[in-house]
Amino acid sequence: MPTQEIGAPIPNVPHAVSVSLPTWEATVGYEEGESWVVNKMTSGYPRFFIHTSIKKLAKKLEEKYGRQNEVAVIFPSYKVAKRCREFVKTHAGSDANGSAVRILQLSTPPPANADESSTKIESNIGVVFLQASLFPLAKSYWQHSGEGISSRMGEYVLHALFGDEDDGSVGNSGYSNALQQAQQIQRRSPSIAASFSSINAPDKVAEKEYNAFIEHKFGRVLDLKFAKQAKIALRRRICGKVDHSHNQQEEIEKAKRGKNLSETDVYLFPTGMASIFFAHYALLQTWSTPKKSVCFGFPYVDTLNILKKFGPGVHFLGLGDDASLDTLEKQLESGEIDVMALFCECPSNPLLKTPNLKRIRSLADKYDFAVVIDETVGNFLNIHVLPYADMVASSLTKVFSGDSNVMGGSLILNPLGKHYHKFKEFFDEEYEDLFWDEDGLYLERNSRDFAERSAKINENSLLAVDLLQKLPLISKVYYPSIGESKKYYEEIKTPDGGYGGLLSFLFHNPIHAVRFFNAVNLHKGPSLGTNFTLACPYAILAHYQELDEIAKWDVDRNLIRISIGLEDPDELLGVLQKSLDSASDP
């Protein structure tokens, strides 16, 4: 059953990506910092909420290496820590008051022998020490860039450097025993779920409890020495090349990115936001003269923040429609603006608009700017956007993973792009693999059935959209298969692709939106692309401080967004119908 407990992790595992905000009022309370909500938050979306293991590691580092009133912010490399320091100094202004922002590099011990390579890895961190008054700026960098350490990395480094774990329930010897047991499970099967097949459980509830127990007790259940192979498998999966030795789905063969694309053009990142950030960073470093970029269409909040806060700035065309492209073309032609790149989502989150990528590509070629496309919402099994992009970014946290227990991102360079060689040279010199090995192992395991899950989600979503469109209470439904931009989606849709799992909708009466959301028996919290259906009052959750501003871009404050999952379709539609009926009750 979906949790209705405020602040509980979704799912109920130590490294959950989402968190429960089960009512409209709780979401507002969270945004306003009300104690009855924030004091119950034991988890949160990782770029916004710093995980307990990371907090404990930071405290240990402050106690051992910190100076008076200093706090520690931890990143997975010295280079990233330097970028954070530069951001803080740039934006601190008079608030810095001459305060030093310093960086400490630390490493964990490498494995001493082959046996230890299953449980040990040499890792490096860059720790930014700064005055507590400057912490909000460092936290802002953490959120926007997506380059903070993952919770699993924090847990590992905490144990490796200080010999304890986040919950303190397992000491050194207990920790080692847990890892040994976990490895035994892994040797029986690469999947936690599969390992349950040898357990005589009476029902599905016991199976779910067992799976949660295994993840909670052992944390890292996959052998670290296979991390390199897991990342190769991920890159091949992302570029559409099937490695049959790993039993990956044949269906992915149907979604080849292009015969010229190699896994060497696919780069992994700790989060989807980190891939977008690095794309922008690469542009700023390689363009002869850094210029403003265009943000085309209303995007996820931190994409726009990256373009605003790093570099020369942004031209924001928030409607993302044909008229916006007309305006852009006139400004480019007249010389009113000269841009470095155009960033867009395909489709956009949360309005599910599809940009005219053919026209965007034509303008980019004519006026010499790069195109960066975020395909997260569409996913590469449903849409093929690479021919129109110089770089394609994606959050692997979402439907590619599905399990909502690991963060990850990817960035693809188009080998046929005009600027490919310039970008490739920069990536060869500057790219760091900051994707934590344990996270890579989890993501590889989670994504093995990506094709099968994506198809099922496509089917369930069409049924949900059909239900919503028939109801008089609903004033508008947003989905790629309907609306004015459908024609542009059809141009990039793969032969066997669908329309994805994300939809948004509005009620005629805002009171009905609140009633529906509070009544609906679904998981409710941030994120999307989960194997379970997940709902949120999107504008309230993502833009509470700027509700009037986002209305200019047709984002209504009462918008509800639902990410459709893998539930039985009859059961899912029944849950939706029941809550829709109750919304209209007097």
d(CA 329, CA 312): 20
Angle value at C-alpha 352, between 348 and 355, nearest 5 degrees = 60
Strands 560-563 and 534-536 turn out to be antiparallel
Same fold across 65-162 and 226-448? no
Chain center to CA of 383: 18
Select from 500, 489, 502, 495 the least CA-distant residue to 533. 502
Q: How far is CA 351 from CA 74, 482, 500, in A?
A: 35, 11, 13
Chain center to CA of 333: 36
Residues 6 or more apart whose Cβ sits within 8 Å of residue 519: 578, 579, 582, 583
Residue 221's pLDDT is 52
The tokens of 496 are what? Answer: 């066997």
d(CA 233, CA 244): 10
Residue 121's pLDDT is 93
Mean pLDDT by 10 residues, the chain (586 residues): 92 94 97 95 90 96 95 97 96 72 96 91 96 95 96 96 57 38 37 36 48 42 86 93 43 53 95 98 96 97 96 97 97 97 98 98 98 97 96 97 97 96 97 97 95 97 97 96 96 96 97 97 97 97 95 97 97 96 82
Q: How far is CA 428 from CA 84, 107, 458, 532, in A?
A: 22, 23, 37, 38
Strands 409-413 and 266-269 turn out to be antiparallel
d(CA 324, CA 511): 33
The backbone torsions φ and ψ at residue 49, rounded to the nearest 5 degrees and listed phi first, read: -120, 120
Query: By three-state DSSP, how is residue 130 classified?
Result: strand
The tokens of 444 are what? Answer: 């590889």
Domain parsing of the chain, residue ranges: 65-162, 172-221, 226-448, 451-583
Residue 98's pLDDT is 59
The backbone torsions φ and ψ at residue 500, rounded to the nearest 5 degrees and listed phi first, read: 85, 180
Query: By three-state DSSP, how is residue 125 classified?
Result: strand
d(CA 223, CA 232): 15
d(CA 331, CA 321): 16
* Residue in this structure with the two tokens 């790629």, named with its chain if needed: 480
Cis ω for the linkage preceding 11 (within 30 of 0): yes
Residue 99's pLDDT is 72
Residues 6 or more apart whose Cβ sits within 8 Å of residue 346: 354, 355, 357, 373, 374, 375, 377, 378, 383, 385, 492
Residue 97's pLDDT is 61
Contact present, 402 and 530 (Cβ < 8 Å): yes
d(CA 407, CA 526): 13
Strands 102-107 and 293-296 turn out to be unpaired
Residue 202's pLDDT is 44
What pLDDT, in 10s, does the model give residues 252-264? 444 456 667 899 9
Which CATH architecture is the domain 65-162 placed in?
2-Layer Sandwich (3.30)
Report how far apart the first and last C-alpha atoms of the chain are (Å, whole number).
Answer: 27
Contact present, 368 and 403 (Cβ < 8 Å): no
What does the buried/exposed string (b/e) look like for 83-108 if buried means 16 or more CB atoms within 10 Å of the residue's CB? bbbebbeeebeeebeebebebbebeb
Angle value at C-alpha 282, between 278 and 287, nearest 5 degrees = 155
**Dihedral sign of CA atoms 431, 437, 439, 441 in order:** positive
> How many Cα atoms within 13 Å fall on the side-chain side of residue 201?
15
Contact present, 376 and 346 (Cβ < 8 Å): no
The tokens of 171 are what? Answer: 């000491």
d(CA 262, CA 267): 11
Could you tell me the pTM of the whole model? 0.88
d(CA 486, CA 354): 7
d(CA 182, CA 198): 15
Angle value at C-alpha 137, between 135 and 141, nearest 5 degrees = 115
DSSP letters spanning 351-409: T-----HHHHHHHHHHHT-EEEEE-TTT-TTTB--GGG-SEEEEETTTTTT-SSS---E
The tokens of 299 are what? Answer: 């995007």
d(CA 557, CA 34): 20
Cis ω for the linkage preceding 46 (within 30 of 0): no
Q: How far is CA 154 from CA 58, 149, 157, 436, 452, in A?
A: 9, 6, 5, 10, 32
d(CA 332, CA 350): 28
Of 3.40.640.10, 3.40.50.150, 3.10.129.10, 3.30.70.20, the CATH number of 226-448 is: 3.40.640.10
What pLDDT, in 10s, does the model give residues 443-499? 999 999 999 999 999 999 999 999 999 999 999 999 999 989 999 999 999 999 999
Contact present, 584 and 513 (Cβ < 8 Å): no
- The CATH classification number of 451-583 equals 3.90.1150.10
